[in-house]
Chain A
Amino acid sequence: QKEVEQNSGPLSVPEGAIASLNCTYSDRGSQSFFWYRQYSGKSPELIMFIYSNGDKEDGRFTAQLNKASQYVSLLIRDSQPSDSATYLCAVSNAGNMLTFGGGTRLMVKP
């Protein structure tokens, strides 16, 4: 059974701070890792993806992947109240299906 685990939160950070979101996965054959943002009642919105070990930066977002530790993280710099949402980690093993974690609820307080 492929599992993707996230702390459900809520993770509360002040405006302007760095938010750090973490995800672990069980399937060592996983090759692709995605972070989606989901506002309440809305669909998942892709933030970024990462395939290789190390860091990948896109604007205020940095994804970090450590395949040896089976660990993915997302850093959000200069957090804004509009970043308040649930962040979903999703994993694929080069097949078709994405396996999602339960999500971490982020609250950015003004």
Chain B
Amino acid sequence: EPEVTQTPSHQVTQMGQEVILRCVPISNHLYFYWYRQILGQKVEFLVSFYNNEISEKSEIFDDQFSVERPDGSNFTLKIRSTKLEDSAMYFCASSMETGYTDTQYFGPGTRLTVL
């Protein structure tokens, strides 16, 4: 069964450093998402991406964040200058379509630890 994959599974970085989290969505899916979950808290939407552009973003997704689909398979989230409060699990998700019938499938996540 196709699945979303993410690398690395765990990333440790120093505050102020740039990190890139990578995702390979399900191959025939067209819509891509990033969510994050701070330990013990809710899963929070960051951004959605379709046709090589951002379609929706939350207040969390500020200028420190960017997303890119550098090739036909990868989808990346870049955090330019990490802060302690960026420590969280970051989940990539993908869906075949959008609208009320969309179903998003999540990858295993990347645990980001900012020291």
Say whether B100 contacts A31, CB under 8 Å.
yes
| Docked pose: A96 CA to B30 CA in angstroms | 12
Say whether A100 contacts B42, CB under 8 Å.
yes
Chain B 31-44: CB-based contact to A (< 8 A → 1; otherwise 0):
10101000001111
Q: Does B106 contact A (CB under 8 A)?
A: yes
Partner of B45 from the list A36, A45, A98 (CB cut-off 8 Å) is A98
Chain B binder among A12-20, A59-67, A68-76, A87-95: A87-95
Partner of B106 from the list A32, A44, A102 (CB cut-off 8 Å) is A44
- The bracket for how many chain B residues form the interface is 20 to 34
Chain A 33-46: CB-based contact to B (< 8 A → 1; otherwise 0):
01010000011111
Number of interface residues, chain A, beta carbon within 8 A:
24
| Docked pose: A45 CA to B108 CA in angstroms | 9
Q: Nearest Cβ distance between residue B65 and chain A, in whole angstroms?
A: 15
- Chain B residues lying within 8 Å of A88, measured Cβ to Cβ, are 43
Chain B, Cβ-Cβ closest to A95: B56
Partner of B108 from the list A31, A43, A97, A101 (CB cut-off 8 Å) is A43
Say whether A43 contacts B48, CB under 8 Å.
no
**Given contact pairs A34-B104, A92-B100, a sample of 5 additional A-B residue pairs in the complex whose CB atoms are under 8 Å apart:** A43-B89, A96-B33, A98-B33, A100-B43, A100-B44
| Docked pose: A100 CA to B43 CA in angstroms | 6
Chain B, Cβ-Cβ closest to A101: B42
